[in-house]
């Protein structure tokens, strides 16, 4: 189903998607590890949606090398318009005659990426600690345009076919349709194979994904495999095999049957810039999730939930990102509660509330980016990224659930996902849908009348704090208040039997002290509880943050070392900020040494954090 979108709801695209919609994309790419480029042929099927007979097609591109363009087999007039930061260069294809409303055209382009590509990270064999190179994409929010020309907006969805030639195994966001050995036919022993995939459910551009490297696979459930480096495979399988199918079955009960056939996980090299990315068919995940204690599998509950919120039902623009992440955080916590017990919902929400407070403090409590709906005109969505859409969104949905009662809300959940499946929506569509669902229920209607929609949507800063069930965290708060007195003799046993996430809550409480820990106390804490040596990055990174605030020099070097080992922005950015405050020279030196280890998105953001806006090396 398509509708006329006029004017475009998404301010972060240069495409004229109010005139044409991409209904299908076929990419046929070669992965060239030596030149570090991917390129080949891209075909877009574009459907006209205006009577006005638009005289041009505008597509998003960023730092691409475009060589050839044909439209329905003919060569049209085309040009790359001047770069317009931060959105790239529009590719303009002139149409001699317009295209009738409802008619389709086939646009074919020969294109390749360049060194400036912001979506792809290329890793040398040394960087993967193996014998082969590796590459992967991270396209959310607006980086697909640096891989191929497209309508790079979540407001447009189409099916996708992938034909990828590579000397190493390939993973995409489609279902595999086969592998063909091309070595013989090309008369070489290059080992190059053609990997083909299909995504038959219409997806937005940001869910395009590609990875290639020395990747092995092992089952983690009846419809799931984990893929990662052969040496890391066993540990990854152990971490995930217990929970994956349980989570899938649970989310199916809350919403409806899983639509994407397979749910697989690709565990990436440590420079992967996020905890997880919900690419269809294959969730991409940070290796820091493989902590050996199954304590970080909430990443899977989260990314799996995106199979509904985000992937099936998508935010129409990054201004309404809370619809993706708030709904996903909501489903994630419902899964935690169903699988591990009801108190785990608030256990996770308490950790989330601290992240929300930190984000609000970071931006300042009247900042535009602390609103649930943000104004992104002229802005880069990556700059607005924070815990706010996740946690304000979650708090809002939980509040609505409470207003109408859980039993009734449970009925609304599948209704929402059914109504908007395969479509994109904004916050106003959501509001209208919710109100109409409860229109004939007078009690629910009355409760919804009390909702102050404008404040939730547009007020900056923190929302009202919910009453959390603190049963799993009371021990953590107790221990933290003993530390706060400053007169406490800690012992290793203080945290005996605690889960890693209880330690996380304890460290979050310590960080929130009115008077920060002093150097000596921070050092004692690290040595008594063994935090500095923890294998769980959620713990070490929080401990280092507390110790950096205490200006404890003994953690400066270990922090710098950690910054050379993980590239997940959630850890990297706060650690650089604090290391910069404690020892700027070391922060700058650490960044210079490691910048090629980071994914381009991470490198650019840390550069901005350390050197100010728009810094270019």
Residue 21 has φ and ψ, to the nearest 5°, of -125, 135
Distance of closest approach, residue 534 Cβ to ligand BES, in angstroms: 18
CA 370 to chain CA mean position, Å: 18
- Specify the residue, 242 or 441, whose C-beta has the smaller distance to ligand BES: 242
Which of 212, 241, 207, 214 is CA-nearest to residue 225?
A: 241
Q: Which of 87, 206, 263, 390 is catalytic?
A: 390
Q: Which of 303, 332, 391, 607 is catalytic?
A: 303
Q: Which does 277 bind (CB under 5 to 8 A by kind): Zn ion, ligand BES, none?
A: ligand BES
Q: Is 570 annotated as a binding residue?
A: yes
Q: Which does 229 bind (CB under 5 to 8 A by kind): Zn ion, ligand BES, none?
A: none
Helix, strand and coil content of the chain, in percent to the nearest 5, comes to 40, 20, 35
Distance of closest approach, residue 570 Cβ to ligand BES, in angstroms: 5
Q: Is 39 annotated as a binding residue?
A: no
Residues 6+ apart with CB under 8 A from 76: 69, 70, 93, 94, 95, 96
- Specify the residue, 289 or 480, whose C-beta has the smaller distance to ligand BES: 289
- Specify the residue, 325 or 401, whose C-beta has the smaller distance to Zn ion: 325
Distance of closest approach, residue 13 Cβ to Zn ion, in angstroms: 21
Question: Do 292 and 265 form a contact (C-beta atoms < 8 A)?
Answer: no
Distance of closest approach, residue 28 Cβ to ligand BES, in angstroms: 26
Question: Do 156 and 317 form a contact (C-beta atoms < 8 A)?
Answer: no
Q: Which does 274 bind (CB under 5 to 8 A by kind): ligand BES, Zn ion, none?
A: ligand BES
The angle, 0 to 180 degrees and rounded to 10, between the axes of the packed helices 569-582 and 584-594 is 140
- Specify the residue, 276 or 463, whose C-beta has the smaller distance to ligand BES: 276
Q: Which does 32 bind (CB under 5 to 8 A by kind): ligand BES, Zn ion, none?
A: none
CA distance 211 to 169: 8
- Specify the residue, 430 or 438, whose C-beta has the smaller distance to Zn ion: 430
Distance of closest approach, residue 38 Cβ to ligand BES, in angstroms: 20
Q: Is 273 annotated as a binding residue?
A: yes
Q: Is 275 annotated as a binding residue?
A: yes
Distance of closest approach, residue 275 Cβ to Zn ion, in angstroms: 8
Which of 534, 601, 542 is CA-nearest to residue 358?
A: 542
Which of 260, 271, 262, 258 is CA-nearest to residue 211?
A: 271
Grouping H, G, I as helix, E, B as strand and the rest as coil, residue 609 is: helix
Q: Is 139 annotated as a binding residue?
A: yes
Distance of closest approach, residue 137 Cβ to ligand BES, in angstroms: 12
Q: Which does 371 bind (CB under 5 to 8 A by kind): ligand BES, Zn ion, none?
A: none
Q: Is 109 annotated as a binding residue?
A: no
CA distance 16 to 2: 15
Residues 6+ apart with CB under 8 A from 575: 541, 544, 545, 548, 559, 562, 563
| Tally of CB atoms within 10 A around 379 | 18
Binding interface with Zn ion (CB under 5 A)? 325, 328
Question: CA 248 → CA 114, 256, 261, distances in Å?
Answer: 39, 10, 11
Q: Is 278 annotated as a binding residue?
A: yes
Strand 313-315 to strand 224-228: parallel, antiparallel, or no bridges (unpaired)? Answer: unpaired
- Specify the residue, 301 or 605, whose C-beta has the smaller distance to Zn ion: 301
Instruction: Extract the tokens encoding 62.
Output: 């960023």
CA distance 542 to 504: 7
Q: Given CA atoms 595, 599, 602, 603 in this order, what sign does their dihedral have?
A: positive
| Tally of CB atoms within 10 A around 369 | 20
Binding interface with ligand BES (CB under 6 A)? 140-141, 274-278, 298-299, 302-303, 306, 325, 385, 570
Q: Which does 170 bind (CB under 5 to 8 A by kind): ligand BES, Zn ion, none?
A: none
Helix/strand/coil (H/E/C) assignment for every residue in 176-223: EEEEEECCCCCCCCCCCEEEEEEEEEEECHHHCCEEECCCEEEEEECC
Distance of closest approach, residue 569 Cβ to ligand BES, in angstroms: 8
Does the annotation mark 390 as catalytic?
yes
Question: Do 117 and 78 form a contact (C-beta atoms < 8 A)?
Answer: no
- Specify the residue, 111 or 121, whose C-beta has the smaller distance to ligand BES: 121
Distance of closest approach, residue 606 Cβ to ligand BES, in angstroms: 15
Q: Which does 275 bind (CB under 5 to 8 A by kind): ligand BES, Zn ion, none?
A: ligand BES
The string of DSSP letters for 418-458 reads HHHTTEEE-HHHHHHHHHHHTTT-HHHHHHHHT--HHHHHH
- Specify the residue, 389 or 574, whose C-beta has the smaller distance to Zn ion: 389
Q: Is 487 annotated as a binding residue?
A: no
- Residue given tokens 């623009």 in the structure block: 317
- Specify the residue, 143 or 523, whose C-beta has the smaller distance to ligand BES: 143
CA distance 5 to 316: 11
Q: Which does 276 bind (CB under 5 to 8 A by kind): ligand BES, Zn ion, none?
A: ligand BES
Helix/strand/coil (H/E/C) assignment for every residue in 533-577: HCCCHHHHHHHHHHHHHCCCHHHHHHHHHHHCCCCCHHHHHHHHH
Q: Is 276 annotated as a binding residue?
A: yes
- Specify the residue, 69 or 356, whose C-beta has the smaller distance to ligand BES: 356
The residue whose Cβ lies closest to ligand BES is 275
Distance of closest approach, residue 391 Cβ to Zn ion, in angstroms: 12
Binding positions for a peptide are 138-140, 273-278, 568-570
- The annotated binding site is made up of 138-140, 273-278, 302, 306, 325, 568-570
Please give the positions annotated as active site: 303, 390
Give the residue ranges of the annotated binding site for Zn(2+). 302, 306, 325
């Amino acid at each position: 189903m398509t509708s006329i979108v006029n004017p475009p709801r998404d301010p972060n695209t240069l495409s004229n998607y109010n005139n044409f919609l991409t209904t299908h994309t076929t990419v046929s790419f070669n992965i060239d590890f030596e030149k570090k480029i991917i390129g080949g042929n891209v075909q877009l099927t574009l459907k006209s949606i205006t009577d006005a007979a638009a005289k041009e097609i505008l597509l998003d591109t960023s730092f691409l090398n475009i060589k050839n363009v044909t439209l329905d087999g003919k060569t049209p007039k085309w040009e790359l318009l001047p770069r317009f930061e931060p959105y790239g260069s529009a590719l303009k294809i002139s149409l001699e005659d317009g295209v009738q409303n409802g008619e389709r055209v086939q646009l074919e382009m020969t294109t390749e990426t360049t060194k400036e590509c912001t979506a792809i990270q290329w890793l040398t064999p040394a960087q993967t600690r193996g014998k082969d190179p590796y590459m992967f994409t991270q396209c959310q929010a607006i980086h697909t345009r640096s891989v191929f020309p497209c309508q790079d907006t979540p407001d447009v969805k189409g099916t996708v076919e992938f034909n990828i030639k590579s000397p190493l195994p390939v993973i995409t966001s489609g279902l595999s349709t086969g592998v063909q050995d091309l070595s013989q036919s090309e008369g070489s022993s290059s080992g190059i194979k053609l990997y083909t995939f299909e995504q038959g459910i219409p997806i937005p551009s940001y869910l395009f994904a590609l990875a290639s490297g020395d990747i092995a696979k092992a089952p983690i459930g009846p419809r799931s495999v984990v893929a990662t480096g052969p040496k890391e495979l066993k540990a990854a399988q152990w971490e995930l095999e217990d929970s994956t199918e349980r989570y899938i079955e649970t989310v199916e009960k809350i919403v409806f049957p899983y639509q994407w056939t397979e749910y697989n996980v690709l565990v990436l090299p440590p420079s992967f810039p996020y905890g997880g990315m919900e690419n269809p068919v294959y969730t991409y995940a940070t290796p820091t999730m493989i902590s050996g204690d199954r304590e970080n599998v909430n990443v899977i509950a989260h990314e799996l939930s995106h199979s509904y919120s985000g992937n099936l039902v998508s935010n129409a623009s990054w201004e309404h990102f809370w619809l993706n992440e708030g709904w996903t955080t909501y489903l994630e916590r419902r899964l935690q509660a169903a699988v591990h017990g009801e108190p785990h919902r608030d256990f996770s929400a308490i950790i989330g509330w601290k992240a929300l407070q930190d984000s609000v403090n970071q931006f300042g409590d009247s900042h535009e980016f602390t609103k649930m709906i943000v104004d992104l005109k002229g802005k880069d969505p990556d700059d607005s990224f924070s815990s706010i859409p996740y946690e304000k969104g979650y708090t809002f949905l939980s509040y609505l659930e409470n207003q109408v009662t859980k039993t009734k809300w449970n009925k609304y959940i599948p209704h929402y996902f059914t109504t908007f499946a395969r479509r994109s929506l904004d916050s106003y569509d959501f509001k209208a849908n919710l109100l109409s669902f409860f229109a004939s229920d007078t009690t629910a209607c009355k409760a919804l009348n009390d909702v102050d929609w404008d404040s939730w949507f547009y007020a900056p800063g923190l929302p009202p704090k919910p009453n959390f069930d603190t049963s799993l965290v009371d021990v953590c708060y107790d221990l933290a208040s003993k530390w706060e007195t400053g007169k406490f003799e800690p012992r290793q046993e203080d945290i005996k039997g605690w889960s890693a996430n209880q330690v996380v809550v304890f460290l979050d409480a310590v960080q929130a002290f009115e008077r920060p820990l002093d150097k000596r106390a921070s050092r004692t804490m690290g040595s008594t509880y063994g935090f500095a040596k923890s294998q769980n990055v959620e713990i070490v990174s929080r401990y280092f943050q507390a110790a950096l605030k205490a200006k404890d020099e003994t953690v400066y070097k270990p922090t710098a070392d950690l910054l050379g080992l993980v590239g997940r922005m959630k850890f990297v950015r706060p650690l650089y900020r604090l290391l910069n405050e404690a020892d700027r020279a070391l922060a700058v030196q650490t960044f210079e040494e490691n910048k090629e280890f980071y994914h381009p998105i991470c490198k650019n953001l840390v550069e901005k954090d350390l050197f100010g806006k728009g810094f270019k090396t």
